[in-house]
Structures are given as C-alpha cells and as structure tokens.
Structure 1
Amino acid sequence: MSAEFRGRFDHAVILVADLARASASFTKLGFSVSPGGAHTGLGTHNALVRFGVDYLELLAIRDEEEALRARGSTAPIVERLRSGRGGLASFALATADIDRDAERFREQGLEALGPFAMERLRPDGRRLSWRLLVPKGESWGRPWPFFIQWDQDDATRLSWERPGSHANGARRVLAVSVAVADLDAAADLYQRTFGLRAGGTDALAALGARRRTFTTDRFAVRLFGADGPGWIAERLRAAGEGIFEVTLATTGDSLVIPADAAEGARIAIVSDDQP
C-alpha cells in the first residue's frame, strides 16, 4: 500500500468558452473573480475564484493555434470546448514532494506524465511557476486528480493573488464529487496508489448510487458509482466519468448553483463545515 498522501486540495478547473463572460457570470453568482493571466506557450488564460490557497480556476483558450500546437497539454481543451463539453473538467491536489509522489506511483505500477514545468504570467508581470504530475497522462474528464507542486511558497502566492471576499459567503472548498464507472477500482486507486484516507461507504437511493469518501487535510473526494438506474448511471452514460460537483463551505445559507448557471459547473454551497 502507498504511504499516506500528505498534501491538500489546490484547485478545480472549469473550462469556459469565453473568459470575460464566465467571469461576469461568476461575479453575478456572488463570487469575487480576479484575472489570473496567460500560460506560457499553451494558448490558454484564466481567472480565479480564490478562497485561500484553494480556488476555482476558470480556464479558456486565448490563442487556439498556440493551444493546438501544444498538442497533449491543451489541444484536448480545444476539442472539449468545440464539442460543447465545458464546465468542470478536473481538479488538482497540492503536494510538497512531487518527485517522491512520482516514485510512489511507479512503485504502485501507475504510469504518470511528469513532473513537468509550467508557468503563468500574471497581468502585473509577475510569473508564477509550478510542476505537474498527471496520472496516466490524462486529466480532463477523468475520475482522478492531477498533482501540483508550486515553486513559490503559499505566503508569496497569496500576497500576489489575495483571496476574495465573496458576497455569497463561500470561504473554502470542502469536497469534490466524481462519477466513476468502477467504484471498487477507483477506490483502490485513491487509497492504495494515491494514499488518501478511506472514509465510509454509503448507498444513495435517490441517485441510484453507492458512494465512497476519501479525505486529506479537511478536504474530501466523494466517488459515486452507479447502483442500478438513476442519476449517476445517466450521468455516466451521457458524459462519462469525472468530476461533476464542487462543494464549498459558507458563512451564510446553503444553496445549490445548477450547472447551467455556472458555465457548466454544478456548485453546492453548504453551511456545514465538515467534509
């Protein structure tokens, strides 16, 4: 069994066709949205809904030709957006030792791409940089996260990109919900290979699903597998595996923002502060 993962949730990625429009939509939903900048050599740019070190990333194509030249890195984003498959697409877990994580994955027999370097040029000219590790070389629309290690420490990054004050009361990311075709295999990947702590298993008749929960540092990944006809089975049939909801903690009232109001991202905001 893999050693326990000692990292935390970093961010969830929401693919959007128009960054300005998406930023305006999230602002109307009560989020504070700030420009993030452009990714060097990838043809993409982003805006951030930041809570602390954790955030939601609105990611769009800035230069389609450049994005297609990047092939494996961002060409799939172009393809997803062209086919109308924007919205929640992936999520990242932050680690303090990405090289060790890569070694752990190899020991467990899991192929992964990286670690490899990336960077983003902010509107103020500051340059943020990091390394990524991508299990199985794919992350968009997959039922697993990718892993990130920042080159700048948390204090430096938060001094450059200050958390917003969100009118809807949202203050941190509690959990993500992920649809999986094989719940037992996915659970094994998260526990044995990634090293997240296993929580409980429960049945959700209203969704036609079984759910297994895994945690790290006050954050939960909730895996949903179909258990007969129901919403999860329909989701898997229509959209395949992958992240389908982000849960945020709030100081105010609970609410659910439907996907069609948030650029294809279903967001649950809850007053309960426990994953």
Structure 2
Amino acid sequence: MPTDNLTHLKLDHTVILVNNLDQAVQDYTQLGFTVSPGGEHAGGISRNALIHFQDGTFLELLVMKPGARTQLLKRMYKSGLLKAYQKSAKYGMAHRFYGRALDLGAPAPEREGITDFCLLADHVAEDYLQMQKQGVQLTPPYHASRIRPDGQTVSWQMYTALDEALPFFRTDYSPKITRPTTALQHPNGVTGTQKMVLFVEDYDTTIQSYEQLFSGSPTQQTDDSVVFTLDNGAIEVVNHHKSLRHQEQALVKAQGIGRFAQVMRTDNPDFVAQMQQGNTHGLVFLET
C-alpha cells in the first residue's frame, strides 16, 4: 500500500530523443544493449524502441514522426497555445513531451539526448491524491496507448507535475507485459538503473520541489547536491554553479542536452568508458 512520503515510487524509464530511430537501435546494439521493438504512440506523432533491464527500469529511444499532427503541435507550441492548455490531461502531457522536443529546434545530432524521465506509480489514485495533499500541482491523469509491432494495443495512465523540474508519472501497462529473459540480458553487463542525475541552474527551487514531492523521504546531502532515495534507486540533484564535478558537467553539456545523466547497475568496471567509445545519442552515463 502507498505511504505518505511516496518513497514507494520507483524509477521507471528515461526518454531519449533521437533523430533516426533505426540508427539509434543499431548504435545501442553495437554498445552491447539488447533493444526490443516498441511501437507507435496513439495519434502517430512518435514511435519508439525499448531497452529493458532486470530491475524493471528501461530506456525509451523516441523519435518524432513528421506529419500533419506534428506540424499542428509545432504551431500550437510556437503560438503559446500548447502552454495555455498545460493544465489539461491531454495537452498538458503534449506540452511537456513534445514541447521539450520542439524546443530543441530542427533535428541535429547535438540536440539528441535525455528529455525526461518517469517514475512508476502503482497506486494511481492514492498517489495522485497524496501528491496533491503535499502541494504538488498535477495535470489530470491521461489515458495513453501504443500499438506494438505484433498488433497488440497496450494502455496506461500518466500524469505530470506542472513544475517541470519534477519527473512525470505513469501506471503499469495493461495488459501487463512479461518480458522474455533474453530481452533483459545485455552483453555489456547492465542490469538496471541505479540513479538519475540532474545538473540544475536553479538549485534551491529545484530542491524545494523535490522535498515537496518526497516529503519525509530519506536524503543524503553534500555541499553541492542532494540525493533522494526511492524504492529501487535514487535521484540526485546537483548544483550546477557550486559543483566541483566539472568533468561530468562538461560531458553532459557536450554530449547531451545539458541537464540529465544516468548511473547504471553493472558489474562491468569498464562500462562507462565503453559507452564513451560509441554513439549513445546524447545519453550520458556516469560512474557511481
């Protein structure tokens, strides 16, 4: 059952915006990941491929598809209309996902990378009410779906905080998907996600937002960061201005969009170095 401090929320998945999905699948396969087919999201605006891990987390390689609906979202975004509907269920999620992608401008290699990450909320009604009780402003739950390559439609509910410093949230898939063991095994030795790392400009405000979300949750604090511990991992918020982790920040800025990085669970001591030798399409992996 859910608890008042929401520490039962789990790291779920990371969204990596790519320009060419087929190329990204090929590159991640060469890096030792087992990539599974995803599908096309309802409305045909985007499609994805997925990299699943033994701890239940996954990476989502996402590409925006050209077409009339994408052009409509672009016009709504540029005119400010998409933001005007930010509090609605459907367009609130669209503003977050596609607004972030559109804000990156024309597709270019340097604009690939993590655009967002998600927490899994098993108890959608209770968790939603608890977040509201703690003062977190949310969009209404939105029913989403995608069609798998085998033709099966999977659906789920998701919602997001209006404060975009926070992650978004989803329920488990319906019908529940059981992954074959082969899809969870990766030649590079990765078994899951250990931590999401956020390098932020507005550190004090971001910390306040996470403290509001995880009220009463255990934390580890240093001079330049706070780590919020969850049921299956952690979220670390790092002060961009005070941090001495200059090499990590430079790596994130050079290879990715400039804010997010990720620490994986693996017994492979050379994993990060191996990833730096290939094309991760802007996803930056850090040492523990």
- Normalised-by-shorter TM-score class: 0.7 to 0.9
Match of 2:137 in 1: 111
| Native 8 Å contact 2:114 2:257 kept in 1 | no
Q: CA RMSD in A?
A: 3.1
Select which of 228, 248, 263 maps to 2:281: 263
Deviation string 1:217-243 (CA, Å, 9 cap, x unpaired) is 130101001344863887999999975
| Native 8 Å contact 1:196 1:215 kept in 2 | no
Q: Look up the equivalent residue of 2:129 and give its one-letter code.
A: E
| Native 8 Å contact 1:168 1:252 kept in 2 | yes
- Tell me how far apart the structure 2 counterparts of residues 200 and 164 of structure 1 sit (CA, whole Å): 30
Match of 1:213 in 2: 227
Select which of 45, 48, 64 maps to 1:46: 48
SS at match of 1:111: coil
- Tell me how far apart the structure 1 counterparts of residues 181 and 104 of structure 2 sit (CA, whole Å): 28
Match of 2:205 in 1: 185
- Tell me how far apart the structure 2 counterparts of residues 103 and 42 of structure 1 sit (CA, whole Å): 31
Deviation string 1:52-90 (CA, Å, 9 cap, x unpaired) is 321000000134432344564154224426254320111
| Native 8 Å contact 2:49 2:61 kept in 1 | yes
> Which blocks of at least 5 consecutive residues in structure 1 are unaligned?
204-209, 271-275
- Tell me how far apart the structure 2 counterparts of residues 241 and 198 of structure 1 sit (CA, whole Å): 29
> Which blocks of at least 5 consecutive residues in structure 2 are unaligned?
77-90
| Native 8 Å contact 2:218 2:229 kept in 1 | yes
- Tell me how far apart the structure 2 counterparts of residues 135 and 234 of structure 1 sit (CA, whole Å): 28
TM-score (norm 1): 0.81
SS at match of 2:150: coil
Larger CA deviation: 184-193 vs 124-133: 184-193
SS at match of 1:37: strand
SS at match of 1:114: coil
| Native 8 Å contact 1:259 1:266 kept in 2 | no
| Native 8 Å contact 2:40 2:47 kept in 1 | yes
Greater share of strand: 1
| Native 8 Å contact 1:133 1:148 kept in 2 | yes
Match of 1:244 in 2: 260
How many residues are treated as equivalent by the alignment? 257
Match of 1:65 in 2: 68
1:152 to 2:170 alignment:
no
Match of 1:56 in 2: 59
- Tell me how far apart the structure 2 counterparts of residues 176 and 119 of structure 1 sit (CA, whole Å): 25
- Tell me how far apart the structure 2 counterparts of residues 30 and 151 of structure 1 sit (CA, whole Å): 26
Select which of 173, 182, 192 maps to 1:172: 192
| Native 8 Å contact 1:45 1:59 kept in 2 | yes
SS at match of 1:66: helix
TM-score (norm 2): 0.77
- Tell me how far apart the structure 2 counterparts of residues 268 and 221 of structure 1 sit (CA, whole Å): 13
RCO (CA 8 Å, sep 6+): is it higher in 1 or 2? 2
Select which of 230, 236, 242 maps to 1:222: 236
Select which of 115, 133, 144 maps to 1:89: 115
- Tell me how far apart the structure 1 counterparts of residues 39 and 13 of structure 2 sit (CA, whole Å): 16
| Native 8 Å contact 1:249 1:269 kept in 2 | no
Shift of 1:13: 0.6
SS at match of 2:184: coil
Shift of 1:264: 0.6
Identity of matched residues, % = 25
Shift of 1:248: 0.8
Deviation string 1:167-205 (CA, Å, 9 cap, x unpaired) is 1000111011012223333222223224472321124xx
Deviation string 1:236-257 (CA, Å, 9 cap, x unpaired) is 9999997521111113224323
Larger CA deviation: 218-227 vs 76-85: 76-85
